[in-house]
Amino acid sequence: MSGPLWDPGPACATREREYDVVIVGSGAGGGAVAKELVPLAKDGLRVAVLEWGPRFRDDEFTGRELDMAGKLYFDSGGFLTRDRSMTLAFARAYGGSTVVYTGTSLTIKKRVVESWRIPDLGWEDLRHRSAKYIEENNVHLLLDEEVNENNRLFLSGCRKLGYRVEQFPVNVQGCRGSGLCNLGCPNAAKQGTNRVQLPAAERGGVEVVTRCQVTRIGERWVEATVHPAGDFGLPPEWEPGRYRIRARAIVVAAGVVNSPSLLLASGFGDRLPALGRYLTVHPALILVGEHARRITNYHGHPKSYYCDHFEESDRFLLETCMYFPFTTAKNLAGFGAEPAELLSAYERLQMILVLALDRADPENRVAVDREGKPVVHYRVGEDVIRSLLAAMRASTRIFFAAGARRVHAPAAPAFFLHPEQANDLDRLIDRRHFHLGRISISGAHLMGGCRMGTSPTDSVANAWGEVHGCPWLFVADASLFPGAADINPYVTIMAFADRVAERVREKIRELARAT
């Protein structure tokens, strides 16, 4: 991970600040908590959000892939696991990763919540809270005329094969179909926390401090460094330098990698042995089919349909997607003439995103190195590989059913598969050809690391995000997940954060008396 953006040096004096509530992070979790704590701000309590990344001007969302990846993502979107077998992408900006995700907004399934078996965490409560954010974020289905051909071909292929396929509800308003969701919407259409919850929080009296990197959390205080303005984004709201900020309540919502690593670097692992553990992701592949004619693919919303036909049997999901040239190239298995030939046909490409549904494992974890920087240990197990192989076969069948002239499946013996091979896919797409490192796997939808539970021996927080043994400390992001959500977790994160904010509102007077 990138180190500090700026070191003020030992001579820089530490400034002191005091708040009632400090929220670390401004994404789906932190942004939702901030907006829900407006009643405290209106009652005269001081609430602050500390966000590591900058606040971007609207005209700075250029849509240029390498430019925006370097500005928005940690390690330009290429943060690697310890064994270098998987990349993880997560953002650093006002609005967190809600700035760079596609806006798909699903409610978590009842069977998943019930499988977690967390006392005081019910599906009906999460469904009710999710509905609030679905309305707040203008979540809806796109009209038929707004769906591009890349998505229509996926729908057609699934239906021909008898696969269950559904339309994604998305949180857009005034979408102009730029297709740049993962690089920050240049048209202010995507309704992330940067467009909805954070502005509402600021209007209600909550303070947001950008370029503010929290480096340590102690007993009702945080240490942070505010970095000066760089070549992009607005300047910070506070003077650059070191700060020690006291607070009656601290809410950590820095994301699945940064929340556990911050708490570990602050020494909380000594009392919470599960801290950082039970990390899970949806190991993902981008698959590509080439058509004989030009199709509309990168114009229009990239995600309109998903297939959960194999969710319980083979443990994978399929989604429509359309990625930019560099990201697409990274996901091709091979070098030389064939990848170049495929990329030169970019306007004829159809893409499918494969998501394996992995289970939470205590050995998959976030740790920290000697400098306190996060290190992610994640083993791609045989169950996941079987899911990815089955997903490649299903996706290849969808491509061919939709009329593709050839398909690139990275676990096949040749770079291209052709329609006449469609009946032989079980043999061709095989474990023998699946080699970690050669096949580019990305970790989508990061979850866990500060998991909910009842005991400090195998969990970090309770069902309301309260950290065990620390009544003043809360977690409010996807690191709370005790297991995989089996969907995009965005709306569920906000529902969890809504619960955390409710508990903070209930306890803040009690916490004030205790300090």
Read off the pLDDT of each residue in 38-54 and give the average, rounded to a whole number: 98
**Cα 483 → chain centroid:** 15
Say if residue 514's pLDDT is above 70: yes
With a pLDDT cut of 70, the percent of the chain lying above it is 98
CB 450, CB 479: distance < 8 Å: yes
272-294 pLDDT per residue, tens:
999 999 999 999 999 999 999 99
Say if residue 122's pLDDT is above 80: yes
d(CA 256, CA 259): 6
Q: Could you tell me the two tokens for 125?
A: 């409560």
Q: Which helix (H) or strand (E) holds 513?
A: helix 490-514
Three-state DSSP at 340 gives helix
Q: So what's the pLDDT on residue 11?
A: 62
Q: Which of 455, 129, 74 lies closest to 256 in space, CA to CA? A: 74
Q: So what's the pLDDT on residue 14?
A: 92
β-strands 241-252, 14-24: how paired?
Answer: parallel
pLDDT bucket at 55, cuts 50 / 70 / 90: very high
Q: Which of 404, 314, 309, 302 lies closest to 353 in space, CA to CA? A: 302
Q: Could you tell me the two tokens for 427?
A: 């043999």
Read off the pLDDT of each residue in 82-107 and give the average, rounded to a whole number: 96
Least confident of 46-50, 147-151, 331-335, 430-434: 331-335
Q: Could you tell me the two tokens for 417?
A: 């598969």
d(CA 25, CA 35): 13
**What is the amino acid identity at position 375?**
V
Round the average pLDDT of the chain to a whole number and report it.
Answer: 95
375-429 pLDDT per residue, tens:
999 999 999 999 999 999 999 999 999 999 999 999 999 999 999 999 999 999 9
d(CA 261, CA 366): 6
Return the number of other C-beta atoms located less than 10 Å from residue 322's C-beta.
Answer: 27
pLDDT bucket at 511, cuts 50 / 70 / 90: confident
Q: Could you tell me the two tokens for 388?
A: 């990815």
Q: Could you tell me the two tokens for 202?
A: 């600021």
Read off the pLDDT of each residue in 156-167 and give the average, rounded to a whole number: 98
Burial readout 6-41 (b: 16 or more C-beta within 10 A, e: otherwise): eebeeeeeeeebebbbbbbbbbbbbbbbbbbbbebb
d(CA 378, CA 504): 33
437-485 pLDDT per residue, tens:
899 999 999 999 999 999 999 999 999 999 999 999 999 999 999 999 9
CB 115, CB 486: distance < 8 Å: no
pLDDT bucket at 9, cuts 50 / 70 / 90: confident
CB 54, CB 230: distance < 8 Å: yes
Q: So what's the pLDDT on residue 512?
A: 78
Say if residue 1's pLDDT is above 60: no
pTM for this one?
A: 0.96
Return the number of other C-beta atoms located less than 10 Å from residue 313's C-beta.
Answer: 8
Q: So what's the pLDDT on residue 2?
A: 46
